[in-house]
Amino acid sequence: MLELTISAETEEPRDCKICATKNAGFNYGVQSCNSCKMFFRRALDTSKMITCKKEENCNILDPEGSKCRFCRFHKCVLVGMKFIDSPQDPSAIINDLLHKDWTRNQHFLTGKAASTVKFKDIFERGVFLFEKKSEDTVFDFYEWGVMNHLTCINFETSLSFMKYLSKSDLTCVLKSSHLLYMIFVTAWRSYTAKKEFMCHPDGSDIFPSEVEPSAYNEKLINEIRCYLLSCLICLRVTEEEFLLLGVIIVCNPGIPDLSQTGRMLLASYQSMYGQTLQRYCSFKYGSNAGALRYLEIISLSTAIARCHSAIANFSTLFPIHQPQHVKVNLFTEILAFLIK
DNA sequence: ATTCAAGGCCAG
DNA sequence: CTGGCCTTGAAT
């Protein structure tokens, strides 16, 4: 009787939660064999993309599916393997973001989109090719807009957690979060240039020149131009706060259509960046004022969402009020895809 | 954590 | 078919 209970309890739960090998140990917080531990460690180490050649649902338990690195890695995540070293050094995280953001801004200020860029390539994973633009190049609204999209997407996809996401999850993230992030970047850029309304680096408008402001509700136009920017000015947002809130927005796990592993991955990274922001705030403002400050910065995302919704309203009204000025180009294609 | 031999995969 | 490169799992 006693013997039966022991054998029943000791044999089953010892299996590796990923590949079902007997006599698994305990690694990364999960019952797992040594091979899966090594596999997981290596998958985290490499900066290379891991992809599935089939449908991203290979069965790790059958010998055929067990060869798929993507599906094995995602099963590791699914059964709960911890993939973030905790706790992370806040200054290392911030420095990494500073560097990525600097690169984004350089591309935006000095580059132009390569002529080969097509709409269908934009939301795929990969590095965009930017060409140097000459000193005397003058961008119109649409050219600034395309560069803003491309450089922001390039930044977003360069974030460390993006390489873990499946193709469809990557598309979900970009489709739901990219425009919010780009709006925030545009407001930040105008804020650092000490402007009182949103504009491009050369001071040109964030509306196409053919837009006739009097055809629209003045409140709507002002909301897009000024509301978010006035929040940044009012809060005197620092660069670190901008960078961290930016990634917190990009790794929002609450967006629709994500796979379960995608949600878990994003949630962990969002929490890591959130903790970094908390620690930054309490370091900079003291622990009491820091807690309040953290909430103020987080609540900026409401202002970003408000601007986003105003832009969505505007782009619905534009073809109604000024149908003769509707254009089809790369910028309007991207916007239509994001707002639909 | 690092090292190593074996096996798989791809290009020539 | 062959050689080189990469991944893997077990041993150190």
Give me chain A's average pLDDT, please.
Answer: 91
- Strand C contact at CB of residue A35, distance < 7 A: yes
Distance CA A33, CA A39 (A): 10
Scanning residues 69 through 98 of protein chain A, those with a beta carbon under 7 Å from any atom of strand C turn out to be: 69, 72
A23 in Cβ contact with A43 (< 8 Å): no
Query: A197 and A127 share a domain?
Result: yes
pLDDT, tens digit (0-9, with 9 covering 90-100), for A291-307: 999 999 999 999 999 99
A302 in Cβ contact with A223 (< 8 Å): no
pLDDT, tens digit (0-9, with 9 covering 90-100), for A36-91: 999 999 999 888 888 888 888 888 888 777 789 999 999 999 999 998 877 778 99
A315's CB contacts (< 8 A; 6+ apart) are A335, A336, A339
Residue of A145, A168, A170, A311 lying closest to A228 (CA atoms): A311
Q: pLDDT band at residue A197, thresholds of 50, 70 and 90?
A: very high
The two tokens of residue A130 are 């930017």
Query: A236 and A274 share a domain?
Result: yes
Q: pLDDT band at residue A12, thresholds of 50, 70 and 90?
A: low
Distance, angstroms, CA A87 to C1' B5? 36
- Strand B contact at CB of residue A38, distance < 7 A: yes
Query: A149 and A273 share a domain?
Result: yes
> CA A111: distance to chain centroid?
22
Q: pLDDT band at residue A238, thresholds of 50, 70 and 90?
A: very high
- Strand B contact at CB of residue A67, distance < 7 A: yes
A38 nearest nucleotide via C1' and CA: C9
Q: What is the pLDDT of residue A286?
A: 96
A191's CB contacts (< 8 A; 6+ apart) are A229, A232, A233, A237
Instruction: Note whether residue A296 is domain-resident.
Output: yes
CA-based end-to-end distance of chain A: 64
Query: A256 and A126 share a domain?
Result: yes
pLDDT, tens digit (0-9, with 9 covering 90-100), for A199-230: 999 999 999 999 998 999 999 999 999 999 99
Residue A40 burial (CB < 10 Å; 0-12/13-18/19+)? buried
Distance CA A112, CA A194 (A): 24
Task: Among A127-131, A255-259, A300-304, name the one with the lowest average pLDDT.
Answer: A127-131
Helix (H) or strand (E) holding A26: strand A25-27
CATH number of residue A252's parent domain: 1.10.565.10
Q: Where are the beta strands (DSSP E) in A50-160?
A: 111-113, 130-132
A75 in Cβ contact with A58 (< 8 Å): no
Q: What is the pLDDT of residue A205?
A: 93
Task: Among A52-61, A94-103, A222-231, A257-266, name the one with the lowest average pLDDT.
Answer: A52-61
CATH number of residue A59's parent domain: 3.30.50.10
Give the mean model confidence (pLDDT) for residues A105-126.
89
Instruction: Note whether residue A114 is domain-resident.
Output: yes
The number of folded domains in chain A is: 2
A219 in Cβ contact with A306 (< 8 Å): no
- Strand B contact at CB of residue A53, distance < 7 A: no
Q: pLDDT band at residue A167, thresholds of 50, 70 and 90?
A: confident
Residue of A291, A305, A315 lying closest to A206 (CA atoms): A315
A235 in Cβ contact with A300 (< 8 Å): yes
Q: pLDDT band at residue A13, thresholds of 50, 70 and 90?
A: low
Distance CA A75, CA A35 (A): 14
Task: Residue A279: give the domain boundaries.
Answer: 90-339
- Strand C contact at CB of residue A36, distance < 7 A: yes
Give the mean model confidence (pLDDT) for residues A13-18.
84
A263 phi, psi to nearest 5 deg = -60, -45
Give the mean model confidence (pLDDT) for residues A78-105.
91
Query: A195 and A305 share a domain?
Result: yes
Query: A106 and A201 share a domain?
Result: yes
Query: A48 and A125 share a domain?
Result: no
Residue of A152, A3, A167 lying closest to A70 (CA atoms): A167
Residue A244 burial (CB < 10 Å; 0-12/13-18/19+)? buried
